[in-house]
Amino acid sequence: MTWQVLNPYDQKCIGSVDLVDWSKIDRWLDEARTLHEDRQAWIPVHERIAILQRASSLMHERAESLAMQIAREGGKPLVDARAETSRAVQSVELCVHELFASGGRQIPMELTEAGAGRTAYTFREPIGPVVAISAFNHPLNLIAHQVGPAVATGCPVLVKPAKDTPLSCKSFVEILYEAGLDERWCRFVPCTDDVAEQMVTDPRTAFFSFIGSAKVGWMLRSRLAPGTRVALEHGGAAPVIVDENIPRENVIPSLLKGGFYHSGQVCVSVQRVFVPRAELPDFAAALAAGAKALKVGDPTNEETQCGPLIRPAEVDRIEAWVAAAVESGAELAAGGKRIGPTLYHPTVLIDPPRAAKVSREEVFGPVVCLYGYDSIDAAISQANELPYSFQAAVFTERQHIADYCVERLSGSTVLVNDHTAFRVDWMPFAGRRHSGLGTGGIGYTMSDMSPEKMVITRSSSGLD
């Protein structure tokens, strides 16, 4: 069996990958477990550093072709695909940096009489075989975030890419091989969902890294073998509070970027924006004008700002959600219609009902909803009412309002005067509640994949 890889813009086949069956994965899991259990087989840290440095150099040399591959298989506009490629190169470099900066720590023991005469320290060891399942929306950098830390910490890893975007993952794994990594330490595993579940839930899997839908992630977590550690990164319906009297030119460009970057196919994309009710008409007009001016089309064109959605079914879904919101009373300020099988106009809705799907579920498309509010507490209450909690934002020129929102908005991160889709690769990145489990970011993932082991030594003078 194979996966045919389609360009989401024109639906033409641009490649294929052969699927891996369970018999081969079974052998690879045995191989991974054996590698981990045989300490003589572990790759020395200096060799891991050299491999990652060579991989980073190769990626830098091939940056333009990698960016074009992202644009062609994932539909991300070329300007943003180039930025993703640069981030992926940096993510690999960050793995090296973390190896230089990481290590164990001393644990004070003589804080009580019971600990007297003892010294203690920790060091890190690889957790064991890692299974990573990734998402389509950042097909190179997400793989770098999952596989890079596994290689850096000395964990054998099996990686399943998203069905729509396996080519970038394949390229990354092949670059690691070219950089000197033995193939046994990293396996490219495109496979069917049932085979993937069997791989994830196998007791030989020590750590499961998942980026994708909450429904799938939480289901897989419930079926893990005892002892398997896990990191889940899902999405949300990111809220933004706009304070009164803030100049619109300080807000609109940021919301346009945060709401329509990659056509909204981002787990922390701006989705729900709360604006003082008296200012809502003018604010909506300005945001709608900006949305209408965005260039939608072929992602490989330099001028394109919004590319296609990943597949036609996603346009069908979003079209239905927007139509239902409008029928229920939302005002359509911009967009609201498809351009083709996978293209959808950047859309701005005003006051969709709180029960509408666009208000309660992650749209994962080019739709931004505006809501009028009469008090900051009412806006915060509505922002927090969903079971998701990831990144939130507030735009204000008043420090006490910034502090108030930071304290009360539900989220692992609250951005002040910036959009919710902001991220750099070394920062902690974590969904709470339904939005995920654990903390992403290169250093944080490496920590998860290399738990501390403690040594306690009793001084000889204290022996009986």
Q: Indicate the burial class of 120 (C-beta count within 10 angstroms; 0-12, 13-18, 19 or more).
A: middle
My answer on whether 280 and 322 are in the same domain is yes
Total of domains in the chain: 2
423 is a domain residue:
no
Same domain, 277 and 395: yes
Q: In this structure, which amino acid lies at residue 7?
A: N
Q: Are residues 230 and 264 in the same domain?
A: no
Q: What is the CATH number of the domain that holds 79?
A: 3.40.605.10
Asked if the structure places residue 460 within a domain, the reply is no
How crowded is the C-beta side of 23, counted as CA atoms within 13 Å?
0
Stated pTM of the model:
0.94
Same domain, 36 and 185: yes
Residues recognised as catalytic: 233, 267
Structure tokens at 319: 């079209």
CA pair distance 169, 66, nearest whole angstrom: 10
Domain that holds residue 315: 238-416
Same domain, 18 and 157: yes
Structural tokens at position 237 = 């319906």
Tokens 């300490």 belong to residue? 39
357 and 439 assigned to the same domain: no
Distance of CA 76 to the CA centre of its chain: 15
Distances, alpha carbon 122 to alpha carbons 106, 286, 450, in Å? 7, 56, 12
For residue 428, tell me if it sits in a domain.
Answer: no
- Give 76-119 as a DSSP string: --HHHHHHHHHHHHHHHHHHHHHHHH----EE--TTSGGGTTEE
- Does 427 reside within a domain? no
Same domain, 216 and 73: yes
Q: Report pLDDT for 102.
A: 85
pLDDT value of position 297: 96
Whether residue 165 is contained in a domain is answered as yes
252, 213: one domain? no
Backbone region of residue 226 per phi and psi (left: phi > 0; alpha: psi in -120 to 50; beta: other values): beta
Which CATH number covers residue 357? 3.40.309.10
- How far from 349 is each of 223, 288, 317, 331, CA to CA, in Å? 39, 9, 16, 6
Asked if the structure places residue 426 within a domain, the reply is: no
153 and 286 fall within a common domain? no
Same domain, 147 and 257: no
Place of tokens 């790759």: 43
pLDDT of 461 reads 62
**Rounded CA separation 375/88 (Å):** 42
Residue 209 lies in a domain: yes
Give every residue of the chain whose pLDDT is below 50, as ranges: 463-464
User: Which is nearest to 5 in space by CA: 155, 167, 131, 117?
Assistant: 167
The answer to whether residues 314 and 402 belong to one domain is: yes
Task: Decide if 79 is inside a domain.
Answer: yes
Do 136 and 96 sit in the same domain of this protein? Answer: yes
Reduced to 3 states (helix: H, G, I; strand: E, B; else coil), residue 153 is helix
pLDDT score recorded for residue 72: 97
